[in-house]
Structure 1
């Protein structure tokens, strides 16, 4: 049976100096999962405006089912202005409030979450109380004898989060993904930071997590499970076009591999390759498929400088 995943959060337009691209971390993850043939549902909200209609058309073109994407009358579709002056560290000015700050609770969508194998959510959509309350209701809803694993993609975009919000969302998670800057900040709220592996183990124990995934810049990525299984990958080489969406590509690829039963070491390698591949192309959703990622892995030269997998 094809794994079923529900993704909850923001969808928006990334506005670059010379182009406007459909984006939002959670929408990107959903689109990547769709490309790998997963059964994906995406819960979000757009405005009743031209930009919202264009986003709905884009998602449909990507193969995403938009039945759970609400259309609001009172707030505009989301926009983020991206600064790509440093191709390795893209920064954003994210408009607030917008439509996805007002995702309404839906009992049918809640059942969709409960029936899923994985429920993916992030930090940004929880910045305002309406969408945060909806998310918390979905996370707190018990399944009917079915285990749905909550996946928290920590994506700290100042000033759109608080310590209290992030810690609350961590308390519901089964799998968590962070980058090296985020793990240092979050761990520092709770205990002295020693090193990444110590921090991963601490957070797993503190929040009773099943798995922690860490992207580590030039050192690639690491994964640690609650049972102590540990893997790391050094990353891949690519000439960076921009890093928009590379972390989303990483997470989508990792979840695809994990959901379909691949060993963790293979899942981590595939995810690192997907993140690097996307960083070598413009925008968050360049055209590619699983075969492209496997070819990319097979053609790498380990002696060349490594590409840092980041958000």
Structure 2
């Protein structure tokens, strides 16, 4: 199985120790949820192509080099003169990240239909995050993904600073849930994502309950909810529920945790078809990356050692 991961690649600007009030120091980290998942899959030994729009500016060259260095194929990537998208990262006292995005006119969201080649039925399409809701590219990607006859997964990955109104965000997300349900695919969201969207979707209750209702309504083969330090939950198309606990780790930051969870979850699920095992791998990989600065997912050996440690 080859994965095709579609979505944004960008630069996270993470604060480092300031010199004085005149200047500050920032780390420019290769990031973006879908790109992080592509890297995570490749580090776990999976065949993966990244379908993204990459700038020819200095940041874009950094992203391209990062993808190649981690074994991610770029046959489906598009090169553009549009500038690279930036995310300015703030960390709270628990090292949980929030983001201020600089997207106007940037590379990630200018998709044209002719830039997207058809997928084969034996390729797994994983699509995620802001590329599914930021126009004009989101509509182009929705049309393209709707032509795919193979397996599909979606990571909702809500970013309220981009679309602060839940009703508008839900209007952008709902067509993707229809698409994934029609493919009998997999949808993943965090509990925070669901809390933001629940009322607009017409569902009430806990994140687990809302995902179960979405799964029944749209017809996913599985709905997955990450619960931060509490672990993760999944519900399948029959309504069977599975929960696994979190893993304790000294947190450096949470950047890329959900994206890394998804990579490990998909890699294991494709191999075994077992939701519980896939959740364990996802939770462990997400915890692992929280112990490192930025989105640095484990390879298969590191993940196995962490799971068994």
Please list, as runs of the form range in 1=range in 2, the aligned pairs for 1:25-174 lying within 5 A after superposition: 25-73=33-81, 75-97=82-104, 98-106=106-114, 109-112=116-119, 114-143=120-149, 148-161=150-163, 162-173=169-180, 174=185
**Map of 2:2 onto structure 1:** 4
Which range moved further: 50-59 or 120-129? 120-129
Which secondary structure does the structure 2 equivalent of 1:28 belong to? helix
- The Cα shift of 1:101 comes to 1.0
Distance 2:64 2:294 in 1: 18
* Structure 2 match to 1:303: none
* C-alpha separation in 2, matches of 1:191 and 1:85: 31
The TM-score, its normalising length taken from structure 1, stands at 0.88
**What is the root-mean-square deviation of aligned Cα atoms in Å?**
1.7
Q: In the TM superposition, what whole-angstrom CA distance separates every residue of 1:37-57 from its partner, at most 9, and x where no partner exists?
A: 212111111222121112111
The answer on whether the counterparts of 1:5 and 1:116 sit within 8 Å (CA) in structure 2 is no
* Residues 1:23 and 2:23 are matched in the alignment: no
CA distance, structure 2, for counterparts of residue 262 and residue 209 of structure 1:
15
Q: CA deviation at 1:87?
A: 4.2
Q: CA deviation at 1:116?
A: 4.1
Q: 1:35 to 1:139 in 2, by over 3 A?
A: same
1:126-160 per-position Cα deviation (integer Å, ceiling 9, x unaligned): 343331122112222153xxxx2221101111232
Q: Structure 2: how far apart are the matches of 1:106 and 1:35? A: 30
Taking structure 2 as the reference length, the TM-score comes to: 0.88
Gaps (5+ residues) in structure 2?
17-26, 164-168
Q: How many residues align?
A: 289
